A = this chain, B = another copy of it.
Amino acid sequence: MADGTASFVDIAAPELARGEADRPHSAVVRFGTEAPLKLDAGGVLSPFQIAYQTYGILNAARSNAILLCHALSGDQHVANVHPVTGKPGWWETLVGPGKPIDTDRFFVICSNVLGGCMGTTGPSSLAPATRVPYGLDLPVLTIRDMVRAQAMLIDHLGIERLLAVVGGSMGGMQVLQWAASYPERVFAAFPMAGAARHSAQNIAFHEVGRQAIMADPDWRGGRYLTEGANPRRGLAVARMAAHITYMSDSSLHRKFGRRLQDREGRTFSFDADFQVESYLRHQGEAFVDRFDANSYLYVTRAMDYFDLAADYGGVLANAFKGTKTRFCLVSFTSDWLFPTSESRTVVHALNAAGASVSFAEIDSDKGHDAFLLEEPELFAITRGFLDAAARAVGVP
C-alpha cells in the first residue's frame, strides 16, 4: 500500500517557528504530482507534504499502530520537547513508555494536520509555483481533507489497518471521519470531547477569532509573510477568546478567582490587575510565537465546516453503517464547548448503526481541556480500551 513515489526526508536543522513550515523538526513525507490530494473544495493539492512524529516500534505484523489526531492548536509533537517552545509534548500525560498509550507496546504516529504550520502543507508553506507562502491562495480545507492526507501517510508507512485512531476536540472529529471514511482500516476509534458537527456557538467563537486576525492591519489580506509583517495582536486576541472556551467557569474560578496579580489593590487602570487577565495575555502572546495566523483561519474553518451527517444524507448513523470498528467515547461534565450532548448524539448514531460502542462522561471541573490534563479516569479508560483492542488483534 505504500506509495512508491513519495520520498521520506528527515530534517532536523535548528530553525525557528517560521522555518517549521517548510523545514520542520520532524519526519516529512512529500507527495509529488503523481500522488495528488483530492480536496472537498474541488481540485487537488499537489505537491504537498506531511510532517509527523512517531514513538515506539512498528511490529512485524504492522498491527500495533495507533494514530493520534491533534486539536486546533496542537501539532505532531505529542511526546517530545517542542522544537519551538522547548516545552514538553502536549500529550505527555497520556503518551509514553508505560503510559496509557504505551509507546513500549504501540507504534504511535501523529502528523501535523493539513493547513497547519508545523511542516504539513498549510498557508505558511511555500507555494511550489511562486516560491512565496500560499497565504489565502491555499484552497480552504476540511476535516475530511485532513484525514485523506493522513491516510496517504499511513499508506506510505505501509500500515493496512490502524489498531486505533485517538484524538480529542478537533482530533475527535478526525477520529469520527476516519471511522466513517475508512472503516476497515480502523480497528478501534476513540474520540474524546468530540462532536460530529460544529455547533452554532462554536462557529460563532471561531468567527470572532478570525475577525480579530483579519482586523489586524498586519494581516495584510493574508500576505503578511511575504510582506514581512505578522498579525501578532489579532492572533493573540483570537487565542485569548478561544482559551476561555477551553476552561470551565469553575476551573477559572478555582485557578484565579478575583485574585490580583502581584499588587495590593486595584490600580484603577487598564493594566492586568487580575491574575486571570495576566494569564490570558500570556496565553495570547505565547501562542503567537508558535502558531501561524493564516493556519488559525484554515483550521478553524475546517472545524466549522465539519458536519459528518451532512455527507451521509443528514443521517449520522449512515456514516457508520455496517462498521466493525469498536468505539469508545468520553466527554467531560464541565466541557461547555463540546458538551456531553454532542458525544451522546454520536453514541446514539453508533447504536442505531449497530456498532460496538462504550461511552463515559467523566466528572471533571476542568472544562474542554480536561482531555489534555491529569484525569485518572480518562487514563484508566484509555488503558482499558486500548488493552482490549490490542488483545483482540493479538498485540502482546
A residues in contact (CB < 8 Å) with B: 40-42, 136, 139-140, 197-201, 203-205, 207-208, 210-212, 214-217, 233-234, 236-237, 240-241, 244, 247, 249, 252-253, 255-258, 266, 268-270, 272-274, 276-277, 280-281, 284, 297, 301, 304-305, 307, 336, 339
Contact = CB atoms under 8 A, between A and B. Distances in A.
B252 A211 contact: no
A56 B204 CA distance: 41
B212 A212 contact: yes
A243 to B, nearest CB: 8
Contact of A208 (B237, B253, B297): B237
21 contacts: A40-B268, A41-B268, A199-B249, A201-B253, A203-B258, A203-B274, A203-B276, A203-B277, A204-B252, A204-B276, A207-B281, A208-B280, A211-B233, A212-B212, A212-B237, A214-B270, A215-B216, A215-B237, A237-B237, A270-B301, A273-B304
Given A215-B233, A336-B336, 17 more contacts: A40-B268, A199-B253, A201-B249, A201-B252, A203-B258, A204-B252, A207-B272, A207-B281, A208-B237, A208-B240, A211-B284, A215-B216, A215-B234, A237-B237, A241-B241, A249-B336, A270-B301
A147 to B, nearest CB: 17
Contacts of A273: 304
A42 B258 CA distance: 22
Copies of chain A in the complex:
2
Given A244-B205, A336-B336, A281 B200 contact: no
A276 B207 contact: yes
Nearest to A231: B215
Interface of A is mostly: helix
Nearest to A306: B258
A236 to B, nearest CB: 7
Contacts of A249: 199-201, 336, 339
B234 A281 contact: no
**What are the nearest 8 A-B pairs in CB distance?**
A215-B233, A41-B268, A140-B268, A200-B252, A207-B277, A201-B249, A200-B276, A200-B256
A269 B216 CA distance: 19
B270 A197 contact: no
Nearest to A205: B244
B336 A198 contact: no
Contacts of A255: 200
**Which of the listed residues A140, A244, A253, A301 has the most CB atoms from chain B within 10 Å of its own CB?**
A244
A217 to B, nearest CB: 6
